[in-house]
C-alpha cells in the first residue's frame, strides 16, 4: 500500500511495497508512481510521466487494473493495482497493489468480489490488515474485527473506545501513537507512518506498522485519525538478527585475521 499526493508522487509506502520494489524507504519518497511500472515506452520526462499518471487514474481509479510492476532487480511482475481518492483538503490517493493470484483467491473466497470490489475489504479478509478510525470530535472509534484478530482478540474482547486502544500501546512507544501531533500542527490532512509495539492477547508485545492520515482542525486540534495496521513482527526479528550478525562479524573482523566481503549482484552492491 502507498499514499500518493494529488500529482501521483509517493508520500508513504508500506514495508511490503518497499520489498516489492526492492528499495529502501527513502528511495520511494517523492517518486512518480507511474514510473514504478513497466510500460512499452518508458521515459523520465515530466510531461510523459504526467500523461502516464492520467492514464493510470483512468484505468485504476476505484476499479483494479492489471499492470506490470518493475522492481529494481529482476523481471516485471504482473500485479493488480487500484487507486482510491482520499478526502480532505490535502487530497491524494491510496494505492493498493496485490498479486494477481491473491486477488483471484480473494474473489473466489468472497463469492461476490468483482472488478469494483473494495480493495481494503479484500486486504482485511486475505491480507490480515487491520483498519481503525478514530473520530475524536464525536468520540466514535471503529476497530475492525481484523484489527482485533491481529492482536489475538475476539471482537467482544476489546471495546471500540479510544482508552481501550491506547491501553494496548507499549508505554515506551506512546510518543509514536498516531494520535500524537507534532509541535506545530497545521490545519488540514497530513499523512503518518509509524511503528510501535502493542500488547497481544497472549501477553507479549507485537510490533506493528500504522500508516494513514490525520485530520487537523482550524485550531490545531486533532479531529480524526484513519489508518491501516500491519503486523511487522517477522521483519523486526529479521532486523534484530541482521544487527546481531553484523556485530558478530565486526568482532571477528576487527579482533582477528578475518577479511570479509559481500557481493550483492541483484542490487549491485559490493
What CATH number matches the domain at 1-127, 3.30.230.10, 3.90.78.10, 3.30.450.20, 3.40.50.970? 3.30.450.20
Angle at 228 between CA 32 and CA 218, to 5 degrees: 80
**pLDDT band at 43; cut points 50, 70, 90:** low
**pLDDT band at 88; cut points 50, 70, 90:** low
**Do the domains spanning 1-127 and 128-231 agree at the CATH topology level?**
yes
Any bridge partners for residue 133, and if so which? 142, 226
**pTM across the whole model:** 0.50
**pLDDT band at 126; cut points 50, 70, 90:** low
Is the separation of the CB atoms in 59 and 47 below 8 Å? no
* Cα gap 134→147, rounded to integer Å: 13
**pLDDT band at 108; cut points 50, 70, 90:** very low
Residue 42 Cα distances to 36, 75, 83, angstroms: 10, 15, 21
**pLDDT band at 29; cut points 50, 70, 90:** confident
Which residues fall within 8 angstroms of residue 139, CB to CB, at 6 or more apart? 162
Mean pLDDT of 160-174: 92
Q: What confidence score (pLDDT) does residue 202 get?
A: 93
CATH topology of domain 128-231: Beta-Lactamase (3.30.450)
Domains of the chain by residue range: 1-127, 128-231
Amino acid at each position: 500500500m502507498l499514499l500518493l499526493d494529488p500529482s501521483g508522487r509517493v508520500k508513504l509506502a508500506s514495508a511490503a511495497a518497499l520489498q516489492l520494489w526492492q528499495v529502501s524507504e527513502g528511495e520511494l519518497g517523492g517518486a512518480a508512481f507511474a514510473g514504478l511500472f513497466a510500460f512499452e515506452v518508458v521515459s523520465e520526462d515530466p510531461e510523459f510521466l504526467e500523461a502516464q499518471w492520467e492514464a493510470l487514474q483512468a484505468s485504476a481509479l476505484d476499479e483494479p487494473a492489471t499492470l506490470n510492476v518493475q522492481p529494481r532487480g529482476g523481471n516485471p511482475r504482473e500485479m493488480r493495482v487500484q487507486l482510491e481518492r482520499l478526502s480532505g483538503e490535502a487530497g491524494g490517493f491510496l494505492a493498493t497493489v496485490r498479486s494477481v493470484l491473491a486477488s483471484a483467491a480473494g474473489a473466489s473466497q468472497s463469492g461476490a468480489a468483482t472488478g469494483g470490489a473494495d480493495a481494503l475489504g479484500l486486504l482485511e479478509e486475505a491480507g490480515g490488515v487491520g483498519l481503525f478510525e478514530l473520530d475524536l470530535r464525536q468520540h466514535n472509534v471503529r476497530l475492525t474485527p481484523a484489527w482485533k484478530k491481529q492482536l489475538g482478540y475476539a471482537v467482544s474482547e476489546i471495546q471500540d473506545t479510544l482508552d481501550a486502544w491506547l491501553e494496548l500501546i507499549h508505554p515506551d512507544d506512546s510518543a509514536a501513537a498516531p494520535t500524537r501531533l507534532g509541535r506545530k500542527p497545521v490545519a488540514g490532512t497530513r499523512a503518518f507512518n509509524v511503528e510501535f509495539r502493542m500488547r497481544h492477547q497472549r501477553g507479549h508485545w507485537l510490533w506493528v506498522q500504522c500508516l494513514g492520515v490525520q485530520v487537523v482542525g482550524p485550531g490545531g486540534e486533532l479531529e480524526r485519525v484513519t489508518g491501516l495496521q500491519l503486523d511487522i513482527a517477522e521483519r523486526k526479528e529479521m532486523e534484530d538478527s541482521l544487527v546481531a550478525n553484523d556485530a558478530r562479524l565486526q568482532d571477528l573482523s576487527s579482533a582477528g585475521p578475518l577479511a570479509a566481503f559481500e557481493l550483492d549482484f541483484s542490487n549491485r552492491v559490493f
